[in-house]
Amino acid sequence: MIGLRPITGSITKPLVVGASNAEIGRRNLFRLYYTHMAGLFGEANIDLLNSDTDNCIMGIKNHEDVYKVLYRLRSMFDTSKYPADHLLY
């Protein structure tokens, strides 16, 4: 009969898990910007003004009603703090 004995040990160095989570979040933000937002508004009409690991600020130019366009992407945004009678709530 062949058996395996359990391997024991200890972790003496920190695991790098947080860096990969931040990288995944950053990738998702850039995907939102380049795939969805630039596709809807046109790359000439949208600017990525600032970004962090979990949010970004975009400037949208020359568009009549931004909220009607964003309505199509409402599942991608947290609009829970909008007024209850707002289109994107």
Pick 5 or 58 by higher pLDDT. Answer: 58
Question: Please, which residues have CB within 8 angstroms of residue 89's CB and are 6 or more apart in sequence?
Answer: 79, 80, 82, 83
The pLDDT, as a whole number, for residue 40 is 86
CB 57 within 8 A of CB 49: yes
The helix (run of H) or strand (run of E) holding residue 47 is strand 46-51
* Domain spans of the chain, in order of start: 20-63
**Confidence at 49, pLDDT banded by 50, 70, 90:** very high
* Residue-level length of the chain: 89
The 10s digit of each residue's pLDDT in 21-33 is 778 888 888 888 8
